[in-house]
Amino acid sequence: MMKSGLGFLVATLILVYTSAIHAQQQGKFFRIGYLDSSTASGQAVLLDAFRQELSKIGWVEGKNIIIEYRFAEGQLERRVDLATDLVRLKVDLIVVTDTPTALAAKKATTTIPTVMTTAGNPVAAGLVASLAQPRGNITGLSSLSYELFTKRLEVIKDAVPKLVRVGLLMPLGVGAGNNTFELQMKELKPAAVALQLKLEAIKAQPDAKGLESAFQTATQKQVGAIVPQATRPFFAERKRIVELATKYRMPAIYSQKEFVDEGGLMSYGADYEDLYRKAAHYVDKILKGAKPADLPVQQASKFEFVINLKAAKLIDLTIPVRVLERANRVIK
């Protein structure tokens, strides 16, 4: 009887212990850092896509994950400090939204797993050793923004008759010595020569006053079209940029369809919502034990070319039929 009672007691204790462990595991919260160069409101549409996908695969804020959001609010010099703050909080993983924030995270930590949502060229930027074998603590998605910038030059050249001078709208602070700037210019210069286009770098603080001044400068320099750099601060200010392009009757081609949704003329680029959804799956794998070094970087595979004929009409631009035929979607 005593042996039977002792065995029952031991079995009960084991059951209680394992149940407690299971409950602890079930109740564990993972802390995710989210680092972005711009604003929460400006990134809402992409952030929603990311969170919705996380929820679909079982990761729900307040239930089993906590997301620590850090937005630089367009103050680009804050990115490293914000990344350092996330490291100080001992987050389990950091999500970064572009090349500059990825570089900031890399400077802050070489151990915390980091997932890129839309890095331009992570190999050229020194973020990963290769797409197939990242090797370090960083992996994720590439938006191919450098290569697609060249493609946008080709499209705007075809869409605007007799185009000679193109304004490259870039955030203030981007220039010589900036790795992202130099990589993009390396891609663009040969393309501009082949297309017989002259490039004008137009710097802008990503706010109302700075952007207005940039379009005034573009007009003074007799720029025939604008191509904004694919950056998070400009994406956050897309409505204002589109309004200014209309005000100054300036044809523009953007990196994402969301600019066209705000009334922009045209866009050619990767489907960013798709990239953010895929980033959620990287987060899922890493939280379940995968190592970033073992997860190859994926390049964008879905691209969109959207034209808004309403916007063309506002600036008296007639887009050739051959260009319209190449579009995935034409807004009439």
Residue type at 268?
Answer: Y
Task: List the Cα angle 236/153/232 in 5-degree steps.
Answer: 15
- For residue 191, the enclosing domain spans 145-271+304-331
Query: In terms of domains, do 140 and 278 share one?
Result: yes
Please, are residues 119 and 57 in contact by the beta-carbon 8 Å criterion? no
Query: In terms of domains, do 180 and 285 share one?
Result: no
Q: Would you say residue 70 lies in a domain?
A: yes
Query: In terms of domains, do 327 and 213 share one?
Result: yes
Query: In terms of domains, do 197 and 325 share one?
Result: yes
The predicted-structure confidence for 198-245, as pLDDT tens digits, reads as follows 999 999 999 999 999 999 999 999 999 999 998 888 999 999 999 999
The predicted-structure confidence for 74-117, as pLDDT tens digits, reads as follows 787 899 999 999 999 999 999 999 999 999 999 999 999 999 99
Q: Would you say residue 228 lies in a domain?
A: yes
Query: In terms of domains, do 291 and 257 share one?
Result: no
Query: In terms of domains, do 73 and 115 share one?
Result: yes
Task: Determine the pLDDT at residue 13.
Answer: 43
Listed residue (313, 287, 321) closest to 64, CA to CA:
287
Residue 43 sits in a domain of what CATH number?
3.40.50.2300
Query: In terms of domains, do 295 and 310 share one?
Result: no
* pTM, full prediction: 0.83
Q: Would you say residue 6 lies in a domain?
A: no
Please give the tally of structural domains in the chain. Answer: 2
